[in-house]
């Protein structure tokens, strides 16, 4: 994908049409085009979800998400999928279909639209969140974002798409029923089976049973919690725990949760109103979600419950509830800034109760633990962990996945959305449920699976690596750059400046050494003095009038690196600067 999304404008193509009834199949027998399934992200990892379905000359893209960088990706804001395959085939892309409004499914929409300007299809809340994201990123793309209701059928080339409601940790989440010339595809999206959700509709099992009464060609199903036996607890169980905590708290209650978990926000507000506490909302994403969902009627804010921060110091501690982001230890989040004493409005003090109403995403455990330790150190009582019962996740466990298999009864199966172990476990569940092993495909990002109706085979591989985004700059993840950044963060950098006489070609004066993040010059002056002498000797011994700048720089770098490693057993990045030549 070209840097800064500088790609030619897409060619004009016919706009997809809408219909409220399914297309009638032609009685005339025709040779069905090949069907290809191409995951571009989201398999073998948590995040960066993007899937392409290709049938003949038509491509449908499902989701366009980001992945938050790991600790090793120093200086990276977000990670997005490699979209080069879609850019190369942009005239065949008929639409982007969004299953729900989480960032790992919509966070890369602006990047895709700047390269492949196609219509977007999403439910009510998802369209609002996409618009909010485009505005926050300063995107100048004139996006055609279409609001679609579950049950409405959209024609996209030779395929049609219908959304059906699923229960997840954000309202308006949907699964997809896609009709192709080869047969029906069911994509569950992220889901669980909560029959009485706090907000939104339960997963439409009736629609799944109806589509499963006919032959379903392919099922793609959420694998995130395939390892967990039994059923995922309903969201309502969290309300009882939160109620007890707020009722028993003598001081302020600070509830940290995902900003998109609207049902949790609703429960916190209802409980606060019950105990006549004022709610203060902090964190840009949390404030944005509260505003959007209350405007469209998904969040019912009790009267006189939400207050402005100017009033927080005028209330006794036992009349305050604070809703915040930061459960994943994000460095700039509101909760982390509270833990470090840097939040402009909230200073943690003795008597505060902090509720971590979320579980760490895999890979975030260390930074989350650091945040919890900081909060305890400042005197707060922190409620966290599975034993506290202040969080339930939004994905189906093993028995729920089995229920979907029983209803859909697909011929082929692809586990999606999860690390490789989750996909492998889900594949084993599918086999236990009677799907032949040869009809189960555990894919990697970039695999091109081709189905002909009777069998499937991985026939190709397309680019599907990681691209990193820093503001408007997008480039492929460079392993050497990440290695240099890790070295800089661990051992620092040492600059050595060498002045060569333009007339004699010899060293003028002593080399100058400056270190950043390596050693304190005041404490290690003797070490740096030894480095200067080593570099001066190496340059003087090897210097002749005809030597070039590159040779001098290489000699200085090698000499200083060897000297510093012998003395410290550390390997700082060494940058020689030769002047005068």
Q: What DSSP line would sit under 192-237, residue for residue?
A: B--SS-SSSPPP-HHHHHHHHTS-EEEEEEE-TTTTS-S-PPPTHH
Residues 492, 573 contacting (CB under 8 angstroms)? yes
Q: Which residues of 98-117 are buried (b: 16+ CB within 10 A; e: fewer)?
A: bbbbbbbbbbbbbbbbbbbb
Greater confidence, 233 or 505?
233
Give 386's pLDDT tier (boundaries 50, 70, 90): confident
In tens, the pLDDT along 16-72 reads: 445 444 444 445 555 667 899 999 999 999 889 999 999 999 999 999 999 876 555
Query: Is residue 329 very low, low, confident or very high in pLDDT (cuts 50, 70, 90)?
Result: confident
Active site residue 168: no
What are the angstrom distances between the C-alpha of 453 and each of 27, 177, 251, 268, 457?
18, 17, 63, 49, 11
Please say whether the beta carbons of 315 and 278 come within 8 A: yes
> Does residue 537 or residue 210 have the better pLDDT?
210
88: burial class by Cβ within 10 Å (0-12, 13-18, 19+)? Answer: middle
For residues 190 and 395, the answer to whether their CB atoms sit within 8 Å is yes
Residues present in the chain in total: 581
Task: Report whether pLDDT(526) > 90.
Answer: no
Q: Say if strands 447-451 and 456-461 run parallel, antiparallel, or are unpaired.
A: antiparallel
Query: What is the band of 313 on the pLDDT scale with cuts at 50, 70, 90?
Result: confident
> What local confidence, expressed as pLDDT, does residue 472 receive?
58
Distance (Å, rounded) from C-alpha 281 to C-alpha 288? 10
477 three-class SS: coil
Ramachandran class of 549: left when φ > 0, alpha when ψ lies in -120 to 50, beta otherwise: alpha
pLDDT band at residue 475 under the 50/70/90 scheme: low
316-354: burial string, b at 16+ Cβ within 10 Å, e else: ebeebbbbbbbbbbbeebbbbbbbeeebeebebeeebbb
Average pLDDT along the chain: 87
Closest CA to 169 of 234, 242, 262, 300: 262
Q: What gap in Å lies between CA 259 and CA 571, rounded to an integer?
A: 42
Instruction: List C-alpha distances in Å: 423 to 45, 441, 442.
Output: 10, 9, 6
Domains by residue range for the chain, with CATH: 33-230+394-476 (3.60.15.10), 236-387 (3.40.50.10710), 479-579 (3.10.20.580)
What is the per-residue pLDDT for 349? 93
**How far, in Å, CA of 443 to CA of 536, rounded?**
57
Question: pLDDT at residue 15 above 50?
Answer: no
**Residue among 142, 141, 117, 130 at smallest CA distance from 172:** 130
Least confident of 48-57, 449-458, 521-530: 521-530
What local confidence, expressed as pLDDT, does residue 515 receive? 82
Non-local CB neighbours of 149 within 8 Å, separated by 6+ positions: 123, 124, 163
Q: Which of 106-110, 112-116, 335-339, 490-494 has the lowest mean pLDDT?
A: 490-494
pLDDT band at 486 (very low <50, low <70, confident <90, very high): low
Whole-number pLDDT of residue 9: 39
% of the chain with per-residue pLDDT over 90: 59
- Segment 128-149 shows an average pLDDT of 87
The vertex-580 CA angle with 577 and 581, nearest 5°, equals: 95
Both tokens of 568, joined, read 């410290």
Beta strands in 352-440 (DSSP E): 353-356, 381-383, 410-416
Whether 510 shows a pLDDT value over 50: the answer reads yes
**Which pLDDT score is estimated for 227?**
95
Q: According to the model, what pLDDT value does residue 479 have?
A: 53
Going by C-alpha positions, the residue among 257, 258, 277 that lies closest to residue 269 is 277
- CA dist 7 to 48, 111, 115, 116, Å? 22, 11, 6, 9
**Average pLDDT value for residue range 273-288:** 93
Average confidence (pLDDT) over 527-531: 86
Lowest-pLDDT choice from 40-49, 377-386, 456-465, 570-579? 570-579
3-state secondary structure 331-353: CCCHHHHHHCCCCCCCCCCCCCE
Does 214 have pLDDT greater than 60? Answer: yes
Q: Mean pLDDT across the stretch 472-477?
A: 56
Whole-number Å distance between alpha carbons of 83 and 474: 11
Average pLDDT value for residue range 534-552: 73
The rounded distance, in Å, linking the Cα atoms of 90 and 422 is: 32
270 noted as active-site residue: no
- Residue 192 pairs in a beta bridge with 167
d(CA 322, CA 354): 9
Query: Does residue 481 surpass a pLDDT of 70?
Result: no
Other CB atoms within 10 A of residue 508 CB: 12
Q: Angle formed by the axes of helices 525-542 and 549-568, to 10°?
A: 140
- 208 phi/psi in degrees, rounded to 5: -65, -40
Catalytic residue among 104, 172, 204, 222: 222
Q: How far apart are CA 285 and CA 335, in angstroms?
A: 13
12 pLDDT above the threshold of 50 = no
Greater confidence, 573 or 1?
573
Residue 474 pLDDT level (bands cut at 50, 70, 90): low
Q: Is the pLDDT of residue 484 over 90?
A: no
Per-residue pLDDT, 546: 45
Is 503 strand, coil or helix?
Answer: coil
Phi, psi of 218 (to 5 degrees): -145, 135
pLDDT for residue 133 is more than 90: no
Q: Which two tokens stand for residue 498?
A: 């060498």
Q: Identify the three-state secondary structure at position 476.
A: strand
Using the predicted structure, report yes or no on whether residue 558 has a pLDDT greater than 50.
yes
Q: Tens digit of pLDDT for each residue in 289-305?
A: 999 999 999 999 999 99
Angle between helices 398-408 and 420-432 (to 10 degrees): 50
pLDDT in the model for residue 267: 95
- Tokens standing for 217? 């060609």
Residue predicted with more confidence, 485 or 170: 170
Q: Is the dihedral of CA 163, 166, 172, 173 positive or negative?
A: negative
CB atoms within 10 A of CB 311: 11
Examine the pLDDT at 485 and tell me if it is beyond 70. Answer: no
Spatial separation of the C-alpha atoms in residues 379 and 349, rounded to whole Å: 6
For residue 351, the model assigns a pLDDT of 92
pLDDT band at residue 493 under the 50/70/90 scheme: confident
CA distance 250 to 416: 45
Average pLDDT, stretch 120-126? Answer: 97
Model pLDDT for residues 397-422, shown as the tens digit of each residue: 999 999 999 999 999 999 999 999 99
User: Which percentage of the chain shows pLDDT scores above 70?
Assistant: 87
Q: Which residue has the higher pLDDT, 366 or 186?
A: 186
> pLDDT category, 228, cuts 50, 70, 90?
very high
SS3 436: coil
Q: What does the pLDDT read at residue 551?
A: 83
Q: Which of 395, 417, 422, 426 is catalytic?
A: 395
């Amino acid at each position: 994908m070209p840097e800064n999304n500088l790609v030619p404008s897409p060619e004009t193509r016919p706009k997809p049409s809408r219909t409220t009834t399914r297309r009638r199949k032609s009685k005339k027998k025709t040779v069905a085009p090949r069907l290809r399934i191409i995951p571009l992200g989201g398999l073998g990892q948590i995040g960066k979800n993007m899937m392409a379905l290709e049938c003949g000359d038509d491509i449908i893209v499902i989701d366009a998400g980001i992945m938050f960088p790991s600790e090793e990706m120093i200086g990276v804001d977000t990670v997005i999928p490699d979209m080069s395959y879609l850019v190369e085939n942009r005239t065949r892309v008929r639409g982007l279909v969004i299953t729900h409004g989480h960032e790992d499914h919509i966070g890369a929409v602006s990047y895709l639209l700047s390269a492949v300007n196609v219509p977007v299809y999403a439910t009510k809340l998802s369209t609002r969140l996409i618009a909010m994201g485009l505005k926050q990123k300063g995107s100048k793309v004139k996006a055609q974002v279409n609001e679609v209701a579950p049950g409405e059928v959209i024609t996209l080339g030779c395929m049609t798409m219908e959304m059906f409601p699923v229960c997840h940790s954000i309202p308006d989440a949907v699964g997809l029923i896609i009709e192709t010339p080869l047969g029906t595809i069911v994509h569950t999206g992220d889901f669980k089976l909560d029959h009485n959700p706090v907000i939104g509709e339960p997963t439409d099992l009736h629609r799944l049973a109806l589509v499963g009464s006919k032959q379903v060609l392919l099922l793609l199903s959420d694998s995130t919690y395939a390892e967990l036996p039994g059923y995922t607890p309903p969201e309502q169980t969290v309300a009882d725990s939160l109620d007890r905590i707020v009722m028993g708290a003598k001081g302020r209650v600070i509830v940290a949760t995902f900003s998109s978990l609207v049902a949790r926000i609703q429960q916190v507000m209802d409980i606060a109103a019950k105990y006549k506490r004022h709610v203060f909302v902090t964190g840009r994403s949390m404030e944005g979600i509260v505003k959007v969902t209350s405007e469209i009627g998904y969040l019912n804010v009790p009267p006189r419950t939400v207050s402005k921060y100017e009033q927080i110091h005028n209330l006794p501690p036992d009349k305050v509830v604070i809703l915040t982001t930061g459960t994943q230890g994000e460095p700039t989040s509101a909760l982390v800034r509270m833990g470090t004493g840097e939040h402009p409005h909230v200073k943690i003090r003795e008597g505060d109760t902090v509720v971590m109403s979320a579980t760490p995403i895999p890979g975030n455990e260390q930074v989350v633990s650091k945040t919890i330790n900081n909060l305890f150190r400042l005197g707060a009582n922190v409620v966290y962990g599975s034993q506290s019962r202040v969080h339930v996740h939004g994905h189906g466990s093993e028995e729920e996945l089995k229920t979907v298999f029983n209803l859909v009864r697909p011929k082929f199966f692809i586990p999606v959305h999860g690390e490789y172990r989750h996909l492998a476990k889900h594949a084993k569940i599918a086999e236990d449920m009677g799907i032949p092993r040869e009809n189960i495909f555990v894919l990697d990002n970039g695999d091109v699976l081709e189905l002909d109706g009777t069998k499937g085979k991985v026939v190709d591989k397309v680019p599907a690596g990681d691209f990193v985004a820093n503001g408007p700059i997008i480039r492929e993840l460079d392993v050497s750059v990440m290695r240099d950044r890790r070295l800089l963060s661990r051992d620092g950098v040492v600059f050595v400046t060498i002045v060569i006489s333009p007339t004699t070609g010899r060293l003028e004066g002593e080399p100058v050494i400056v270190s950043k993040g390596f050693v304190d010059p005041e404490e290690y002056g003797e070490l740096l003095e030894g480095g200067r002498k080593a570099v001066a000797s190496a340059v003087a011994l090897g210097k002749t009038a005809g030597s070039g700048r590159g040779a001098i720089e290489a000699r200085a770098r090698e000499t200083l690196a060897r000297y510093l490693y012998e003395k410290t057993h550390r390997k700082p990045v060494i940058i020689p600067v030769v002047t005068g030549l």
